[in-house]
Amino acid sequence: MDSVNQQPSIVRDCPCYSQISGINRRAVLGFAATAMVAASSVCAAGEHPVEPPLTLPLDRGVASPVALTLDACSGGFDVHLLQALIDWKVPATIFVTGIWLARHPQALAQMMAHPRLFQFGNHGARHQAMVLGERLIYGQKTVGTIDAAREEVLEGGRLIEQATGVRPKWFRGATALYSPSLLPMIGSWGYRVAGFSLNGDAGASLPAQAVAARIGRAKAGDVIIAHINQPQRSSGMGVIGGVKRLVDQGFTFTSLDANV
């Protein structure tokens, strides 16, 4: 979707537009396209960020499907969690950033050695929240502008394709929060937005017991989000424990590509 072509409707719907005084509104819509983009960026920066949900369909002939998605933001690499998934043959979608890729080529090679288990999603080039306007969300910088958002998405995808040979299909921004106006743009840039329905580890902040309990309560169709980049925290062991509970209960782990 072309961001410039979207702007007139954004400007008309924006609260800023209704507050214009001393200027004929038709004249506003007659401004140059560049002015429209600038105005819409200011308005969109005041949008309330949203967290899009995502679940798996239950009509694909898969018994109790669940999808495990693991973010690799920056930081480290939880080799124990990866080995557990390999041992139990549990597929997962790993959302990697450009930062993480540069730091962990050996970890990437370990995952690429199991192409039937692991697919890669785009977590952005610099791990910035897909929110317009300058601010911090959960301590993470926001992209700020539409141009920066496009760069975060497209450069992140390019780095993954360069490293793996496969262009990712899914995108998840840092914090998993988005300015609503950016969601259709992400689609126009060639990606599906990877929401979730079960937050397994609250940003790797929860202790192992709490994480295992959360994941262990998954329902058929859930898309689980957790992290694989915090080996120094106990949350990774909680992911292992929760996944084992679901395996023992007969859930079928599946990739996003296979069932969404």
**Cα dihedral across residues 102, 160, 152, 196: positive or negative:** negative
Q: What is the pLDDT of residue 60?
A: 84
* Contact assessment for residue 46 and residue 69, using Cβ atoms and an 8 Å cutoff: no
Residues 51 and 177 sit within 8 Å (Cβ to Cβ): yes
- Residue 130 and residue 150: Cα distance in Å, rounded? 10
Higher pLDDT: 247 or 24? It is 247
**Residue ranges covered by each domain of the chain:** 3-44, 65-259
pLDDT at residue 22 greater than cutoff 50: no
CA atoms within 13 A on the CB side of 122: 30
Asked if residue 147 lies in contact with residue 194, where contact means CB atoms within 8 angstroms, the answer is: no
pLDDT surpasses 90 at 244: yes
Average pLDDT over residues 135-151: 95
Within 10 Å of residue 53's Cβ, how many Cβ atoms? Answer: 9
- pLDDT at residue 26 in the model: 35
Span 41-58, average pLDDT? 79
Beta bridge partners of residue 193, listed in sequence order: 171
Instruction: Quick: pLDDT tens for 158-193.
Output: 999 999 999 999 999 999 999 999 999 999 999 999
Average pLDDT over residues 214-237: 98
Confidence of residue 20 (pLDDT cuts 50, 70, 90): very low
Residue 185's φ and ψ, nearest 5 degrees, are: -65, -40
pLDDT at residue 47, rounded to an integer: 84
Sign of the CA dihedral running 106, 138, 197, 226? positive
pLDDT at 40 over 90: no
Check if the beta carbon of residue 143 is closer than 8 Å to that of residue 175.
no
Percent over 70 (pLDDT), the chain = 81
Residue 45 has a pLDDT of 52
CA separation for the pair 151, 154 (Å, rounded): 5
Report residue 13 as tokens: 């719907």
Residue 102: pLDDT band with limits 50, 70, 90: very high
Across residues 71-92, what is the average pLDDT?
Answer: 97
Residues pairing with 74 in the sheet: none
Residue 257: per-residue pLDDT? 82
Between 234 and 3, residue with greater pLDDT: 234
Query: 65-259 domain in CATH 3.30.980.10?
Result: no
- 163: burial class by Cβ within 10 Å (0-12, 13-18, 19+)? middle
Residue 25: predicted pLDDT: 35
pLDDT above 90: residue 61:
no
Exposure class string for 195-228: b at 16+ Cβ within 10 A, else e: bbbbbbbebbebebebbbebbbebeebbbbbbbb
Q: How far apart are alpha carbons 191 and 229 in whole angstroms?
A: 23
The three-state secondary structure class of 107 is helix
